[in-house]
């Protein structure tokens, strides 16, 4: 499917660069894409046929797929496109893959500005960014956007605990329910690094465990996992009750502060093993996509690379 008819600035000039991503086709121009994409520049330079020959590149391995490339190409052509909390991480991954780092910062700089000013400034926004990273692994971890999102979530939670902005005080716990176990673990680790109070860790873990238990009830085949979750949830509730009573009696949480490490670690180990969701609910694996089309143009398929954004 042709994805460029509505925004290519020079539709009357024949395309000499064909980008294929799964079933999507992008007829583009080397004169526009080569100066702003280091990866495409290298592929075009290595292609046969000389500078005037048309080149076809298979980018099915691009993080974020056709949607991310569509916006990256729009940036190169100067067309309008939207950056949101749902696509910011994908655009950063795509920019790293395509080596879009000109002197002005390019696409990556625009996305970074969005994250700093908008995307990671609120808890729901930071959760949405981290959740989008789940389908972009391992690239999202290699360029650091996944960890930055988890750190932003931890910061917003700590600020909310100290200076509540909504009621009830723990309104933020359901926000974490959208995360996969691995992303939730990143948030808990970030909270520990910020020395969050034990009750904050307990509230987050309890709410997340309740979500997993509710989902697990729908799957009869997960009876053993259900029982383990019930047991772990009962331990959490008993521990919270004990902390509350002890806190009321002593007027301080210092006497049980040292216990949080062992209990929280035990809960995280159990939660990481007990994932009742069906495969694929938190992410997409596009590694098996293969484009079998061939044509008269020179076709180049990229190898797997590591990325970094300075």
Other CB atoms within a 10 A radius of the CB of residue 257 amount to: 13
Rg (CA), the chain: 24
Question: Does 88 lie in the same domain as 54?
Answer: yes
The CA angle 144-101-68, to the nearest 5 degrees, is 65
Reported as a single tens digit per residue, the pLDDT across 85-107 is 999 999 999 999 999 876 556 89
Of 165, 191, 212, the domain-final residue: 212
Question: Does 99 lie in the same domain as 4?
Answer: yes
Helix (H, G, I), strand (E, B) or coil at 273: helix
CATH of the domain at 74: 3.30.710.10
Measured CA to CA, the distance from residue 300 to residue 58 in angstroms comes to: 6
Structure tokens given for 196: 């969050």
Reported as a single tens digit per residue, the pLDDT across 226-263 is 667 777 777 777 776 776 676 666 555 555 555 555 66
Give 244's Cβ-side CA count (13 Å radius).
Answer: 9
For the chain, 310 residues long, give each residue's pLDDT as a single digit of tens: 555 555 565 667 788 889 999 889 999 988 888 888 889 999 888 877 666 778 889 999 999 999 999 999 999 888 889 999 999 999 999 999 999 876 556 899 999 999 999 999 999 999 999 999 999 999 999 999 999 999 999 999 999 888 988 888 888 988 888 899 899 999 999 999 998 888 888 888 888 888 877 776 666 555 666 667 777 777 777 776 776 676 666 555 555 555 555 666 666 666 655 554 444 444 444 444 334 444 444 455 555 554 444 3
Measured CA to CA, the distance from residue 100 to residue 144 in angstroms comes to: 17
Question: Does 95 lie in the same domain as 40?
Answer: yes
Helix (H) or strand (E) holding 69: helix 65-77
Q: Is residue 243 part of a domain?
A: no
- Give the structural domain span for 89: 1-118
In the β-sheet with 298-300, what is the strand arrangement from edge to edge?
A: 24-28, 17-21, 55-58, 298-300
Of 88, 118, 148, the domain-final residue: 118
Q: Is residue 22 part of a domain?
A: yes
8 A C-beta contact, residue 62 and residue 42: no
Model-wide pTM > 0.85:
no
Of 148, 181, 212, the domain-final residue: 212
């Amino acid at each position: 499917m042709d994805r460029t008819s509505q925004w290519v600035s020079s539709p009357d000039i024949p395309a000499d660069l064909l980008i294929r991503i799964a079933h999507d086709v992008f007829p583009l121009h080397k004169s526009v894409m080569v100066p702003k994409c280091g990866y495409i520049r290298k592929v075009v330079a290595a292609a046969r046929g000389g500078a005037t020959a048309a080149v076809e590149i298979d980018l099915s391995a691009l993080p974020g797929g056709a949607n991310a490339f569509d916006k990256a190409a729009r940036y190169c052509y100067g067309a309008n496109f939207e950056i949101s909390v749902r696509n910011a991480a994908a655009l950063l991954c795509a920019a790293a893959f395509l080596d879009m780092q000109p002197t002005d910062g390019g696409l990556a700089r625009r996305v970074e500005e969005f994250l700093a000013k908008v995307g990671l400034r609120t808890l729901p926004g930071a959760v949405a960014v981290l959740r989008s990273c789940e389908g972009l692994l391992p690239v999202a971890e290699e360029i650091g956007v996944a960890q930055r999102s988890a750190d932003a979530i931890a910061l917003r939670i700590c600020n909310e605990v100290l200076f509540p902005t909504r009621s009830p005080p723990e309104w933020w716990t359901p926000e974490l329910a959208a995360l996969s176990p691995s992303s939730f673990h990143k948030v808990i680790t970030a909270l520990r690094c910020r020395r969050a109070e034990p009750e904050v860790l307990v509230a987050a873990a309890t709410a997340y465990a309740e979500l997993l238990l509710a989902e697990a009830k729908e799957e009869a085949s997960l009876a053993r996992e259900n029982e383990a979750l019930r047991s772990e949830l009962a331990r959490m509730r008993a521990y919270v009750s004990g902390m509350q009573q002890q806190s009321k009696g002593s007027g301080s949480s210092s006497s049980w502060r040292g216990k949080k490490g062992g209990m929280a670690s035990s809960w995280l180990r159990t939660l990481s093993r007990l994932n009742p969701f069906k495969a694929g609910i938190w992410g997409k694996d596009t590694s098996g996509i293969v484009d079998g089309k061939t044509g008269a143009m020179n076709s180049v398929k990229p190898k797997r690379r590591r990325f970094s954004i300075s």
